[in-house]
A and B are shown apart, each in its own frame.
Chain A
Amino acid sequence: MSARVAFLIRLLTGANARWLGAEPVARQRIYFANHTSTLDAAVLWAALPSHIRAKTRPVAAKDYWSSGRLRPWLADHVFRALLIERRKVTAENNPLRAMLAVLEAGESLIIFPEGGRFSGPEPQPFKGGLYHLAKDRPKTELVPIYLENLNRILPKGEIVFVPLLGSITVGKPLRLEPGETKADFLARAREAVWCLRLT
């Protein structure tokens, strides 16, 4: 089922990943990308080779993916999304804890550190989650990804889709340097995503 959905998503969005800075190998990673369309998580997930996809979970907003009937089913049975609370964060539902638990279990994550969808071309400043993950899991590779055109295929608030070709560029993994501050690291991570548009 998942393989068929992934194939369909790749067919409709024309999105195949270009692995420029990293090899498509099943190593534990945190893939982090810019976020401009509802499609982002699904397209990025679909573009991963199946053996990586089987061990990778996209992190998505609980409020969006748990409404209706189709979305929760997709999130649960197809994407195996890790749904996190965006609004009322408490100690129990702390997104960071859920993400660390997934990493602890040996799986990889897809995250969007801007913390929401934005329609401008340039990514917004990154939220702190990526830094905390990098600090807690120094051995996990952090892989920057730049998604292009997906917001033209299905812009925010649109219901009809246009079959343009999306593009997914995978950059060179980075790590938290010793002594690097949170602000510096987040700015560097954001730059690593944004400069992939030029490749």
Chain B
Amino acid sequence: MTLLFDRETGWLVGGVIAMLVLASLAGWLLARRPGDEGYRKTIANLNARTKAWWMMVAIFFLAMLSGGIGSVVLFGLTSFLALREFLTMAPTRPGDHRTLFWAFFIITPVQYWLVATDWYGLFAIFIPVYAFLFVPLRSVLCGDTENFLQRTATIQWALMICVYCVSHAPALLTLDIPGYEGQNGKLLFYFVLVVQASDVLQYIWGKTCGKHKIVPLVSPNKTWEGFVGGVLSATLLGTALWWATPFTPWQAAGMSLVITLLGFAGGLVMSAIKRDRGVKDYGSLIEGHGGVMDRMDSLCFSAPVFFHLVRYFFTV
């Protein structure tokens, strides 16, 4: 897993920094305009979000500079933190204590070790087969059968979403794409950029012209205007960046559309879980955004599908 830093990587990095400068400037101007309580709150949150983006982008760049392994470690830590947030609000019982220990300290590291060592065969089945069988076994040994199926399913789902799905993003670095050798860093960059841009653009479209709610009972912030505007503009962005990928412009458009639609699906499902548990955010680690899981929800759903599409159509 070695990554090259070519001129195209420079363009991507420069472009993201330029966008952040623009966003910071816009936030500064908006904050100077007079407005009521609600307006000021929205702008304060917007600026907190932009500030957190600078931080996240810096961390992501630094991880990429390590030449691959840093990105695997970064996504591994992200999974760990997401799992922590997810299981904190999930109802488990004392009988699951040792199972949870395994989930955090054995299963999660092993999954990322499989990414780092490019052991695809085991990477693809380790959690859905072996971890899924192990979880109820370890819990049943404690002899507590109350809500057993629910507890088991909760821990399995937590591992699936927070660890298995997220690990498909750094796994993009392990794909052998003919004519694209050593350039997979750009593919990971491209993927994360399109997913997150889709979130940001849906937020912007929703805030500026959102009216008709899609599923008001699940997420009052998701509107048809935000969804359509966000998906279309993020797809456009993904298409315009085709030169950084192994795709043709049309392929890049199709890939971006899939990424953004699944990103929306992820955000919706993870919102439903929050509603069910009666919380607004998964955590408070990222100022303005909420928890790690609040930022990763769209990536969880799109990473495995994007990975499979690239692997099936673009590798030998």
Q: How far is the CB of B252 from chain A (nearest CB, A)?
A: 39
B99: nearest chain-A partner, CB-CB: A162
Q: Is the CB of B97 within 8 A of A162?
A: yes
Docked CA distance A164–B284 (Å): 14
CB contacts (< 8 Å) of A165 on chain B: these are 84-85, 88, 283
Tell me whether A158 and B85 are in contact (CB under 8 A). no
Q: When the two chains form their complex, are residues A160 and B94 in contact, meaning their CB atoms are under 8 A apart?
A: no
Q: Given the complex of chains A and B, what is the CA–CA distance between A160 and B84 in angstroms?
A: 16
A interface residues, tally (CB under 8 Å): 13
- Known pairs A119-B94, A152-B92, A155-B94; A162 contacts B85 (CB<8 A): no
Most buried by A among B84, B97, B101: B97
CB distance from A62 to the nearest CB of B (A): 27
Interface assignment of B98: CB less than 8 Å from any CB of chain A: yes
What is the number of residues of chain B that contact chain A, defined by CB distance less than 8 Å?
14
**Smallest distance from the beta carbon of A154 to chain B beta carbons, Å?**
9
B97 near A164 with CB under 8 A, answer no
A91 to B87, CA, bound (A): 47
Q: Across the interface, do A158 and B283 meet the contact criterion of CB distance under 8 Å?
A: no
State the Cβ distance, A160 to closest chain B Cβ, in Å.
Answer: 5
How far, in Å, is B282 (CB) from chain A's closest CB? 10
- Bound: A145/B228 CA distance, A: 46
The distance from the CB of A150 to the nearest CB of chain B, in whole angstroms, is 11
**Chain A 149-167: CB-based contact to B (< 8 A → 1; otherwise 0):** 1001001001011111100
Q: Is B100 an interface residue (CB 8 A)?
A: yes
Q: How far in angstroms is the closest Cβ of chain A from B14?
A: 35
Which of chain B's residues has its CB closest to A156's CB? B94
- A155, A160, A165: which has the most chain B beta carbons within 10 Å? A165
Residue among A160, A161, A164 making CB contact with B87, cutoff 8 Å: A164
Bound together, the chains give a CA A119 to CA B87 distance in angstroms of 19
| Binary contact track B65-86/A, C-beta < 8 Å → 1, others 0 | 0000000000000001000110
In the bound complex, residues from chain B placing their C-beta under 8 Å from that of A158 are 97
A187 and B277 CA atoms in complex are apart in Å by 30
Q: Which residues of A lie under 8 Å from residue B94 when comparing CB positions?
A: 119, 152, 155
With A162-B104, A165-B283 in contact, do A149 and B88 touch (Cβ < 8 Å)?
yes
Choice from B100, B283, B284 contacting A162 with Cβ under 8 Å: B100
- Tell me which residues across on chain A come within 8 A of B100, comparing CB atoms: 162, 164
A14 proximal to B (CB < 8 A): yes
- Bound CA–CA A163/B283 (angstroms): 14
A16, A155, A161, A163: the one contacting B84 at CB < 8 Å is A163
Chain B contacts for A160, CB-based, 8 A: 97-98, 101
| Residue on B nearest A166 in the bound complex, by CB | B88
Contacts of B88 in A (CB 8 A): 14, 149, 164-165
Q: Which residues of A contact B98 (CB under 8 A)?
A: 160
Partner of A155, one of B85, B97, B104, B284: B97
In the complex, the answer to whether A163 meets B104 with C-beta atoms within 8 Å is: yes
- The answer for the CA separation of A138 and B214 in the assembled complex, in Å, is 56
Closest B residue to A155 using CB positions: B94
CA distance A182 to B74 in the complex (A): 55
Q: Which of B215-270 contact A (CB under 8 A)?
A: none
Bound Cα distance from A160 to B88, whole angstroms: 17
Cβ–Cβ < 8 Å partners of B84 in chain A:
14, 163-165
A123 smallest CB distance to B (angstroms): 18
Q: Please measure, in the bound complex, the distance between the C-alpha atom of A161 and the C-alpha atom of B84, giving whole angstroms.
A: 13
In the complex the two chains form, what is the Cα distance from A14 to B81 in whole Å? 10
Residues 94-122 of B, flagged 1 when their CB comes within 8 A of A and 0 if not, give 10011011001000000000000000000
Q: Mark A162-195, 1 if CB is under 8 A from B, else 0.
A: 1111000000000000000000000000000000
A155: chain B residues within 8 A (beta carbon)? 94, 97
Contact of B101 among A14, A16, A119, A162 (CB under 8 A): A162
- Complex CA gap A182/B85 in Å reads 41
**In whole angstroms, what is the CA distance A118 to B49 when docked?**
41
Name which residue of chain A comes closest to B85, CB basis. Answer: A165
Alpha-carbon separation in the docked complex, A16 to B284 (Å): 10
Known: A14-B88, A155-B94, A162-B97. 9 other contacts (CB 8 A): A16-B284, A119-B94, A149-B88, A152-B97, A160-B98, A162-B87, A162-B100, A165-B88, A165-B283
B residues contacting A by CB (< 8 A) are 80, 84-85, 87-88, 92, 94, 97-98, 100-101, 104, 283-284
Q: Which 3 A-B pairs have the closest CB atoms?
A: A165-B88, A162-B100, A164-B88
28 cross-chain CB contacts under 8 A: A14-B88, A16-B284, A119-B94, A149-B88, A152-B92, A152-B94, A152-B97, A155-B94, A155-B97, A158-B97, A160-B97, A160-B98, A160-B101, A161-B101, A162-B87, A162-B97, A162-B100, A162-B101, A163-B80, A163-B84, A163-B104, A164-B84, A164-B87, A164-B88, A164-B100, A165-B84, A165-B85, A165-B283
